C-alpha cells in the first residue's frame, strides 16, 4: 500500500509540475487523459489519390478516425480494405502502429516482407519507404509524433 501511495504521489507531482494545462481534446474530453476509442467520432474516408500512394494491386480505400490532436502528437484509428500500395512517410515524424484487426505485410524498399496481425505493433521511422500489402482488411491504432512541428 505504501508503494502504491508513493507512486501516486510521484505521478501527481510530475503532472502538477509539468507546466502543462488541460486542453480540449478531439473526443470532447478536457484534461490530460484520452480514452482511445472511436465511439462518437466521425471517420474520414478517402482513396489512394488523396493518400498519395501508388497502387500496385486491388482498389484500396482508407478511413481514418482521429481520436486526438494535441501539439506535436496525432492519434486515432486507420483502416484499409484489401490491396497493395507503395508509400513513403514524411521525413519529420515517427509513427507507432498497433494492428487491431486484419493481416498486413509491410516491406521496406530493399528489405524483406514483415507480416503483422491483430495484437502486433511496429514503428515507422521518418522517411520510411516501402510497400503495404493489406492481405485482409486492416485496422490499426496509430500515434504520430512530429517533434519538429513545434505544435503547429
What is the torsional sign of CA 93, 98, 99, 104? Answer: positive
Q: Residues 87-145: pLDDT tens digits?
A: 999 888 999 999 999 999 999 999 999 999 999 999 999 999 999 999 999 999 999 99
Q: What share of the chain is helix, strand, coil (3-state, %, to 5)?
A: 10, 45, 40
pTM to 2 decimals? 0.76
Amino acid at each position: 500500500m505504501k508503494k502504491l501511495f508513493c507512486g501516486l504521489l510521484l505521478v501527481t507531482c510530475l503532472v502538477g509540475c509539468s507546466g502543462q494545462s488541460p486542453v480540449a481534446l478531439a473526443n470532447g474530453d478536457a484534461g490530460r487523459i484520452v480514452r482511445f476509442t472511436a465511439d462518437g467520432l466521425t471517420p474520414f474516408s478517402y482513396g489512394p489519390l488523396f493518400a498519395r500512394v501508388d497502387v500496385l494491386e486491388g482498389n484500396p480505400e482508407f478511413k481514418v478516425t482521429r481520436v486526438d490532436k494535441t501539439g506535436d502528437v496525432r492519434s486515432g484509428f486507420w483502416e484499409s480494405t484489401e490491396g497493395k500500395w507503395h508509400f513513403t512517410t514524411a521525413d519529420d515524424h515517427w509513427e507507432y502502429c498497433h494492428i487491431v484487426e486484419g493481416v498486413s505485410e509491410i516491406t521496406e524498399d530493399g528489405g524483406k516482407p514483415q507480416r503483422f496481425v491483430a495484437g502486433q505493433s511496429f514503428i515507422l521511422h521518418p522517411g520510411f519507404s516501402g510497400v503495404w500489402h493489406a492481405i485482409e482488411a486492416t485496422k490499426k491504432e496509430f500515434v504520430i509524433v512530429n517533434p519538429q512541428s513545434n505544435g503547429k
